[in-house]
Amino acid sequence: MKKVVDIMRESCHNIHSIIETEMENMTLETILIENINTFRGSRPAGFDLVEYEKGTDPMDGFVLYGFDEIGMMVPPSKAAHAFVSTGL
């Protein structure tokens, strides 16, 4: 009979394998917004509006639910913006 610890290890390994497979199938697409103050348009279908610090990866940023949230997560002087899609 398997011990609880062995069952937990096996379950964690299976979950890790599933996550790795999903990550391999993920296609990341980023559309950088040059200047959020002059941007005209809307969020493209399948993309999230992301606010992040200049010089960092947009994937490390914050998903905003609307343009009215701009400036709430990152100080405006340090903020950059992009539309990001993971393809999932």
Domain boundaries, the chain: 27-85
Q: Averaged over 77-86, what is the pLDDT?
A: 95
Grade residue 1 by pLDDT with cuts at 50, 70 and 90: low
The number of helix segments (H) and strand segments (E) in the chain equals: 1, 4
Residue 14 is predicted with a pLDDT of 72
Question: Could you read off the pLDDT of 16-68 as tens digits, one per residue?
Answer: 677 677 666 667 899 999 999 999 999 999 999 999 999 999 999 999 999 99
pTM of the model: 0.70
Residue 68 is predicted with a pLDDT of 95
33 backbone φψ class: left, alpha, beta (φ>0; ψ -120 to 50): beta
What count of residues does the chain have? 88
Give alpha helix (H) positions in the chain: 4-25
